[in-house]
Amino acid sequence: METTKKSMNAYPEFTSESAEDHIDILFDTFPQLETKNFLLRQITSADSDALFEIFSDDEVTRHYDLYSYSSVDEIQQLIEFFDESFEVERSIRWGIAQKSDNRIIGTCGYVWLREFRGEIGYELNQQYWRQGIMSEALPAILHFGYEQLGLNRIEALVMTENNASGNLLQSLGFCEEGVLREHDFFKDKFHDMRCFSLLKREFYQRHKPNSNQSLAS
């Protein structure tokens, strides 16, 4: 049975028709964002090799809810999943592309969306770790979430041993709320997850609304 885009909308209970219309318009065309050094853009089949380089690395997937990929065919399925999730307004995943060559070196986005709330996720090619790239890219999608998606609270769940990700979130102003015990099940076992959140008002205490993150569509 075919499922329509409307019935799969990730915002099941809107407070007004205008809010629902606004969200539908946002999802008509994939939103491209721009920072000083990067374009956050739609991921396509042409990015398969770059994504495979990321997701076939055991160090990248060590704190991830999936095993390392072993073929480019699996990457194509991942890209199709990103496309389908965007089509039904369930999530948005941007490729982080260098302006110098448009090559994808990581991804970031909303892994799920609800009215007023969303959860982010991200990963980066290991050779670009500890260069401040996520510190530049993530504020752009946070700004988009608050201003365009109407979010008030943005969350992130991090495995308890992933200190680097926790430190990144705290540097962006996220508050660690505690540990969700055995919250997720993946890789054949339950995992405790550290829960972080950032409210809209807290974000704009640190980042002016007219910052240089821009919509470049």
- What is the set of domains in the chain, with CATH numbers? 31-211 (3.40.630.30)
Rounded distance between C-alpha atoms, residue 211 and residue 208, angstroms: 5
Between residues 156 and 211, the one the model is more confident about: 156
DSSP letter at 67 equals P
Residue 203 near residue 185, CB atoms below 8 Å? no
Q: What is the per-residue DSSP string for 179-202? A: EEEEEEEETTEEEEEEEEEEEHHH
Residue 112 near residue 10, CB atoms below 8 Å? yes
pTM score: 0.87
Per DSSP, the three-state class of 124 is strand
Residue 43 near residue 103, CB atoms below 8 Å? no
Q: What are the start-end ranges of the H helices in 91-162?
A: 133-147
Per DSSP, the three-state class of 56 is coil
Per DSSP, the three-state class of 164 is helix
Nearest to 215 by CA among 151, 144, 133, 145: 144
Give the phi and the psi of residue 48 in degrees, each rounded to 5.
-55, -45
Quote the pLDDT of residue 210.
53
The 10s digit of each residue's pLDDT in 97-148 is 999 999 999 999 999 999 999 999 999 999 999 999 999 999 999 999 999 9
Question: Confidence band (pLDDT; 50, 70, 90) for 19?
Answer: low
